[in-house]
Amino acid sequence: MKLKQGDKIKNISLQAIDGIIFNLDNLKGKPFMLSFLRFATCPFCNLRINQLVKRFDELGDDFTIVAIFDSPFDHLVRHAAKHEAPFPILADETKKYYKEFGIEQSFWGMLKGMIGRMPTLIKGMFKGYIPFPFKGSIITMPADFLIDRNGVVKLAYYGKDEGDHLPFEEVVKFSKK
């Protein structure tokens, strides 16, 4: 079932790429963005992580991001560690939390993104984000959630295609509240 504004966020406990078990309860009292991405070699997702890392300082000291991929831990480490993210990147290979948060699967969304966002896809591949091998689902759609200090969803953004993420300006605006 999809989350909506006003829903209380559930706890998430997953292994982060630094090897620790990350627990969402540790962020109580802190606003954050929870971002569900696709598989570890997805060019769109790697461009998004690259953007979030490069612009992380714009979000202020009290705000953070939690990124989740539907790939096996070892595969995610191989492809995400190079980002040197200042926020946790987690592996949910079984898609336990993808199901709990209503993250969608869409063949048409995958095709729509591949065709409609071809320049972005090519840009990602030129940056070295080659979408092979697939270890995760190629039809998973991304989703972003802005969560307040009380663990309440303030915005639930479900991507309409494989490259559709909440605009970064919306994240910045929320982080300044």
Residue 33 pairs in a beta bridge with 65, 146
pLDDT of residue 177: 82
3 state SS of 74: helix
Instruction: Confirm whether 112 is domain-assigned.
Output: yes
Residue 75, pLDDT > 90, answer: yes
Instruction: Confirm whether 24 is domain-assigned.
Output: yes
Alpha-carbon distance of 87 to 130, in angstroms, equals 23
100-146 residue pLDDT tens: 999 999 999 999 999 999 988 888 888 888 888 888 899 999 999 99
Instruction: Confirm whether 5 is domain-assigned.
Output: no
Number of domains in the chain: 1
Instruction: Confirm whether 87 is domain-assigned.
Output: yes
Instruction: Confirm whether 1 is domain-assigned.
Output: no
Minimal CA–CA distance to 114: which of 42, 40, 37? Answer: 42
- Whole-prediction pTM: 0.95
Residue 88, pLDDT > 90, answer: yes
Domain that includes residue 142, residue range: 13-175
Neighbours of 148 (CB within 10 A): 15
Residue 154, pLDDT > 90, answer: yes
Instruction: Confirm whether 3 is domain-assigned.
Output: no
Residue 72, pLDDT > 90, answer: yes
Instruction: Confirm whether 127 is domain-assigned.
Output: yes
Where do we find the tokens 């966002």? 117
1-54 residue pLDDT tens: 899 999 999 999 999 999 999 999 999 999 999 999 999 999 999 999 999 999
CATH of the domain at 63: 3.40.30.10
Instruction: Confirm whether 35 is domain-assigned.
Output: yes
